[in-house]
Amino acid sequence: MIRFDGVTKRYGSTVAVDDLSLEVRRGGITCLVGPSGCGKTTSLRMVNRMVEPTEGRILIDDEDVSRGDPAQLRRSIGYVIQHAGLFPHRTVLANVMTVPRLLGWDRARAREAAMTAIETVGLTADQARRYPAQLSGGQQQRVGVARALASDPEVVLMDEPFSAVDPVVRADLQEEVRRLQRELGITILLVTHDIDEALLLGDEVAVLRQGGRLAQLASPGELLAHPADDFVAGFVGKDRGYRALGFTQVQVAPQPVDTVRLGASVRAGAGWVLVTDAEGMPLGWVEATGWGGPVREDRVERFGNVARVGDSARLLLDAALSSPSGQGVVVDAEGRLAGVVGADDILAALGRSPRR
Ligand SMILES: Nc1ncnc2c1ncn2[C@@H]1O[C@H](COP(=O)(O)OP(=O)(O)OP(=O)(O)O)[C@@H](O)[C@H]1O
């Protein structure tokens, strides 16, 4: 989809990007990540020609971006930056209508496209009438995303889009961008200095090192399991073995478990029994050792995290380790009980799975 072909950018004696060759796949999120000054922003801006390469080519769908008109190219590509970069004296709606209007769409069509984009990012018609300063930082960032989407682009470039918002809002926005990417099928190239964000969002992650050199391009799981060198290993962090579990599937079949409806009786000595509601949805655990009888609500120990069938080894392990019984509850897509898994079974399955 987007191909960097031997791209170099020099500013005098500074090499910002050095012979970068990289393929950004269609319909997914590729993250460019690396330490400060490694050439992430420069690489991104060469795609929409806000910066021109010194050497090499960038192709979108096999077409050299340097061939056409830069202004036209920029209008065809969504662009989201830190702090949103909105026009302060225009309403949210007017801000989002900017690119469709520049593309020559009539006012009604531009307005309709803008309103659709505003709703898509979770903002209301009332918020669309306000000025940027009348919105929170996170909402402004959503407007920035809406503006990038309004003209229905295939490619969206994002430069540190969430780094200026607090962690809770950031998590919401990250979730939103993942959802939008899937729903709209767009191709996103996203710059971040935060490896956790890159591993969370990226279908593929390109790690750059100082001097604008590509250190590795791989999926998050691959990056964690097989960093190309010490630099990448250091960058992805000390707990990469554990974090790789988040991208590892294990073959463990959920096992049957004794259940009791809330209000019904357990027999003494039954040990840990899973309590369900009247519909059979799991509620928590009860430990019947020295007592038996009806299970009252105050006897129920809530489980920690519940895993879903098909979840990663990390989520299964988390369910097991956060459960008072030591057995992780696994539910199906409808939230119905599929069975339980123990930490030992997950670790044994991990031991059996081939090293990737
Ligand atoms: N317009 C410019 N003129 C001169 N040098 C520049 C210019 N733009 C970037 N550079 C230099 O190129 C290198 C790469 O900069 P770039 O902004 O692409 O890095 P980055 O990885 O995005 O950094 P950060 O995470 O700190 O934003 C840096 O050494 C920077 O100082």
- pLDDT for 227 equals 92
Same structural domain for residues 213 and 175? yes
- Token pair listed for 151: 């003209």
Residue 11 Cβ contacting ligand 1 at under 6 Å: yes
Whether residues 237 and 265 fall in one domain: no
d(CA 11, ligand 1 centre) in Å: 9
Residues 214 and 283 in one domain: no
Assess whether 239 and 99 both reside in one domain. Answer: yes
**9, 42, 52: residue to mutate for ligand 1 pocket, most atoms within 8 A of CB:** 42
CA distances 347 to 87, 192, 194, 256, Å, are 54, 33, 29, 19
> 135 and 278 share a domain?
no
**Alpha carbon 60 to chain centroid distance?**
23
18 CA from centroid of ligand 1 (Å): 12
3-state secondary structure (DSSP) of residue 144:
helix
| Cβ atoms 97, 128 nearer than 8 A | no
ipTM (interface predicted TM): 0.95
Q: Is the pLDDT of residue 69 over 50?
A: yes
Q: What is the mean pLDDT of the chain?
A: 90
Distance 191 CA to ligand 1 centre (A): 13
Phi then psi dihedrals of residue 127, to 5 deg:
-65, -30
Residues 232 and 326 in one domain: no
| Interacting residues of 115 by C-beta distance below 8 A, sequence separation 6+ | 93, 125, 128
Nearest residue to 252 via CA among 296, 295, 310, 195:
310
Asked, for residue 251, whether it belongs to a domain, the answer is no
Nearest-atom index, ligand 1, CA of 38:
21
Q: How far apart are CA 112 and CA 98, in angstroms?
A: 12
Q: What is the domain-level CATH number for residue 215?
A: 3.40.50.300
Atom of ligand 1 nearest to the CA of 193: 25
pLDDT tens profile 77-93: 999 888 778 899 999 99
- The Cα 118–Cα 127 span in angstroms is 9
Interhelix angle 343-352/313-321, nearest 10 degrees: 150
| pLDDT of 355 above 70 | no
16 lines ligand 1 (CB under 6 A): yes
Q: What is the distance between the alpha carbons of residues 269 and 284, in angstroms, rounded to a whole number? A: 18
- Of the chain, the percentage scoring pLDDT greater than 70 comes to 99
- The model's pLDDT over 190-245, given as tens digits with 9 standing for 90+, comes to 999 999 899 999 999 999 998 889 999 999 989 998 999 999 999 888 787 788 88
CA of 208 to the centre of ligand 1 (A): 13
User: Is the CA virtual torsion 311, 313, 319, 322 positive or negative?
Assistant: negative
3-state DSSP of 202-221: CCEEEEEECCCEEEEEECHH
The pLDDT of residue 354 is above 70:
no
Boundary residue ending a domain (224, 246, 268): 246
Same domain assignment for residues 297 and 157: no
Q: What is the pTM of this model?
A: 0.81
Last residue of a domain, one of 225, 246, 267: 246
Instruction: Assess if residue 253 is contained within a domain.
Output: no
> pLDDT of 155-195, one tens digit each?
999 999 888 788 888 888 898 899 889 988 999 999 999 99
pLDDT class of 356 with cuts at 50, 70, 90: very low
Ligand 1: distance of its center to the CA of 42 in Å?
A: 6
Which amino acid appears at position 65 of this protein?
V
> What CATH number is associated with residue 306?
3.10.580.10
> Residue 115 sits in which domain range?
2-246
Structural domain includes residue 144: yes
Regarding the beta carbon of 39 and ligand 1, being less than 6 Å apart is answered: yes
Reply yes or no on whether the pLDDT at 143 is more than 90: yes
Token pair of 221 as six digits: 């799981």
- Atom of ligand 1 at shortest distance to CA of 212? 14
Unique residue bearing structure tokens 């969504």:
78
Cα 76 to ligand 1 centre (Å): 25
Which residue from 8, 33, 38, 162 has its CB within 8 A of the most atoms of ligand 1, so it is best to mutate?
38
3-state helix, strand, coil in the chain (%, to 5): 35, 25, 35
**348, containing H or E segment:** helix 343-352
Q: Which atom of ligand 1 is nearest to the CA of 191?
A: 22
Atom of ligand 1 nearest to the CA of 208: 21
Task: List the residue whose alpha carbon is closest to atom 28 of ligand 1.
Answer: 37
The structure tokens listed for 130 are 């306000």
**pLDDT exceeds 50 at position 153:** yes
Task: Convert the pLDDT of each residue in 306-319 to its tens digit.
Answer: 999 999 999 999 99
On whether residue 280 sits in a domain, the answer given is: yes
* Length in residues, the chain: 356
- Sheet (strand 55-60) strand order: 14-24, 2-11, 55-60, 63-64
Domain count, the chain: 2
Ligand 1 in contact with 49 (CB < 6 A)? no
Closest ligand 1 atom, residue 17 Cα: 14
Same domain, 202 and 270: no
Within the chain, what is the greatest distance between any pair of CA atoms?
A: 81
pLDDT 10s digits, 245-258: 888 888 899 999 99
How many helices (H) and strands (E) the chain has is answered by 13, 18
